[in-house]
Amino acid sequence: MKKEAKKAVKKVAARAVTKGRKKKATNRRGFIKIVAVLVILVVVAFGVNFALGNPLGGHVQTFLENFQIQEPARVAAEGEIRVHFIDVGQGDAILLQSDDNAVLIDGGINRRAITDSLVAYLRDVGVTRLCYVVSTHPHADHVGGLPTILREFEVDHVLMPDLMHTTNIFAEFLEVIDEKNIPVSMPNRYDENFFSAGIIHMYVVNPGHGPYRASRDLNDVSIIIRMVHGETAFIFTGDAEIPAERRMLESGVNISADVMLAGHHGSRTSSHPEFVAAINPSIAVISVGEGNTYGHPNDEVLETFAQRNMRVYRTDQLGSIVLVTDGTTITGPR
Ligand SMILES: [Zn+2]
């Protein structure tokens, strides 16, 4: 790996740690600011009323009532989230989109034509800014297109596992993060594990605490996001394999979902029947390249899904797949 790349790795790793701490402080400062502004508004409203000879009169009351009406941002199930499983051949790229909020999970392989079509897809559906870019793990079929994505779009935040990797494409990803000074979080399910972009609510359910053993564990360190919208949920499993699936089952973390992305492109090393049973999904999506040399998806995995009467959508058969949830119902291609 190039010297500068190594430097970028170190810088980003160090920044991720301090960012985590800084974020909490910033949140606290933000809260204090909001309270201060409210106090000022109430005092001003009170002052105006008092000057008008109407102390504690209608205006203050109305202001407070209005504030209370506007306050609850807890109507989680209102609005639609569109989940795009974008066809990037053999790889993953998933877009979560709701109004102006968008999250991209992985960016497909590093091949010019594929990355160009990914960028075009995002522009076509109206994405200009990504609240989060998630790099599930540093393998090329996931991180490959992400350096370009970071250059082409405004990106607020990057999520990635706390594991460094020594390939050029991953180093490039880190270099762009550093160049554009994008905040990085390296979540795990024991502390910082909830992220949201508008109504897109995401829980990171894997990995648990590190440190992780270099490349042997790369797939199992995949960031797995469980997205919850109202009564519906989706789980995006990255390339996590059976050891990671077992660890999630043992930990008792909530993985239930209506839609699961079949782990590792439908490989037999993932989607163990017990893991699928614990998720209890009605739909599986397999993000896989047509005629790939890995034999993905595997017959055993397809059999697991068939036995559970699950609906299976495959990007090698359908191209890009869009599922829409309104918090109660999930609709997809027929
Ligand atoms: Zn993969």
CA of 121 to the centre of ligand 1 (A): 20
Q: What gap in Å lies between CA 84 and CA 96, rounded to an integer?
A: 6
CA of 193 to the centre of ligand 1 (A): 23
Q: What gap in Å lies between CA 42 and CA 270, rounded to an integer?
A: 57
> Which one, of 87, 74, 94, 106, lies nearest residue 234 by Cα?
94
CA of 134 to the centre of ligand 1 (A): 14
Q: What gap in Å lies between CA 187 and CA 191, rounded to an integer?
A: 7
CA of 334 to the centre of ligand 1 (A): 27
164 Cβ contact partners less than 8 Å away, ≥ 6 residues apart:
9, 13, 138, 170
For residues 11 and 5, is the Cβ–Cβ distance under 8 A?
no
CA of 310 to the centre of ligand 1 (A): 22
CA of 293 to the centre of ligand 1 (A): 13
CA of 264 to the centre of ligand 1 (A): 5
CA of 91 to the centre of ligand 1 (A): 5
CA of 287 to the centre of ligand 1 (A): 9
Query: CA 87, 170, 100 angle in degrees (round to 5)?
Result: 50
268 Cβ contact partners less than 8 Å away, ≥ 6 residues apart:
298, 300, 301
CB-count exposure of residue 287 (10 Å: 0-12, 13-18, 19+): buried
pLDDT at 334: 84
CA of 222 to the centre of ligand 1 (A): 10
CA of 49 to the centre of ligand 1 (A): 64
CA of 138 to the centre of ligand 1 (A): 9
Q: What gap in Å lies between CA 26 and CA 13, rounded to an integer?
A: 20
CA of 215 to the centre of ligand 1 (A): 14
CA of 191 to the centre of ligand 1 (A): 26
CA of 67 to the centre of ligand 1 (A): 47
Token readout for 119 is 């960028």
Q: What gap in Å lies between CA 301 and CA 268, rounded to an integer?
A: 6
pLDDT in tens, the chain (334 residues): 455 555 655 666 665 544 444 444 344 445 455 545 544 544 444 444 444 444 433 343 333 333 333 333 444 578 999 999 999 999 999 999 999 999 999 999 999 999 999 999 999 999 999 999 999 999 999 999 999 999 999 999 999 998 878 899 999 999 999 999 999 999 876 667 899 999 999 999 998 766 665 545 789 999 999 999 999 999 999 999 999 999 999 989 999 999 999 999 999 999 999 999 999 999 999 999 999 999 999 999 999 999 999 999 999 999 999 999 999 999 999 8
CA of 31 to the centre of ligand 1 (A): 40
- pTM summary value: 0.79
CA of 306 to the centre of ligand 1 (A): 23
pLDDT at 11: 67
pLDDT at 166: 82
CA of 265 to the centre of ligand 1 (A): 6
Q: Does residue 161 come out as left (phi exceeding 0), alpha (psi in the -120 to 50 range) or beta?
A: beta
CA of 184 to the centre of ligand 1 (A): 22
Token readout for 156 is 């607020």
CA of 325 to the centre of ligand 1 (A): 25
CA of 249 to the centre of ligand 1 (A): 22
H-helix or E-strand spanning residue 194: strand 194-197
> Domain spans of the chain?
3-70, 81-328
Question: What residues pair up with 134 in beta bridges, in sequence order?
Answer: 105, 159
For residues 118 and 110, is the Cβ–Cβ distance under 8 A?
no
CA of 98 to the centre of ligand 1 (A): 26
CA of 144 to the centre of ligand 1 (A): 11
CATH T-level assignment (fold) for domain 81-328: Metallo-beta-lactamase; Chain A (3.60.15)
